[in-house]
Amino acid sequence: MNQTRVAPSLSTIAFVALTSLAASFLLSGCKPATTHTETTTSTLAPAPTPPAPTTQSPSPSAQDLIICFGDSLTAGFGTDLGQSYPDHLQRLLDAQGYHYHVVNAGISGNTTKDGLDRVQLVLDRHPKIVVVEFGGNDGLRGLPIEQTQANLSSILDQLQKSGTQVVLAGITLPPSYGPDYINKFNAMYPALAKQHHVRFLPFLLKDVYGVPGDMQEDATHATAQGNKQVALNVEDLLKPLLKK
């Protein structure tokens, strides 16, 4: 494939509702995998050399990182700079007096294997919280679900072993992939959440998909307006983990 697209997120509602929701889903391409550089969030880069220890402790949470780690839905594909959901999440947290720095580590076109290859970059930043959002490109390529699940499980395991707190965002596929494949794909996310004891968001595009003005013409990626709601969805997921 010259280009890759990510499908809407997993919903834990009944499969009938999922397939109805996805009925209007249209397959189109993603740009080649590139990091979407944001203005209010930082893209992932090798961690700088830490400063020498001081006798004075830093202010609580002042330098705590929240890394949004995923593919085009995280990167902000198709929107202007500063309009990805991590950008809007940063604004929400700032407005509420939380002292976290949100880092956008989304790369369009990434599969779970790509995420697994990049997980060390995330670990090198010593984040407080990581939002993991992968799997759509695996599904659209029809990759074996067992391998996708194994990759995601390894990502979650490595992050948790480092001491970071992890949350998981799920997705779904269009009905053209068939009920057997979709059912197995949809079941993957709650199974991973249970296995790793992490909070998870069943449907990243909750209250976004199908809402006029919230989805791009490709019927897959959120608009800048839609990403505001995605940020609210993720913020709600993170709330129990946040400290002021």
If you count them, how many residues does the chain have?
244
Q: What is the full per-residue pLDDT of the chain (244 aa) written as tens digits?
A: 334 344 443 333 333 333 344 433 333 333 333 334 333 455 555 444 444 433 333 444 446 999 999 999 999 999 999 999 999 999 999 999 999 999 999 999 999 999 999 999 999 999 999 999 999 999 999 999 999 999 999 999 999 999 999 999 999 888 899 999 999 999 999 999 999 999 999 999 999 999 999 999 998 999 999 999 999 999 999 999 999 8
The set of catalytic residues is 72, 218, 221
Query: In order of start, what are the domains of the chain with their CATH numbers?
Result: 15-43+60-241 (3.40.50.1110)
Task: Determine how many CB atoms are found less than 10 A away from the CB of residue 55.
Answer: 4
Give dist(CA 110, CA 130) in Å, integer: 17
Give dist(CA 240, CA 72) in Å, integer: 26
Q: Measure the CA angle with vertex 171, ends 178 and 72; round to 5°.
A: 115
Residue 129, helix vs strand vs coil: strand
Give dist(CA 235, CA 240) in Å, integer: 9
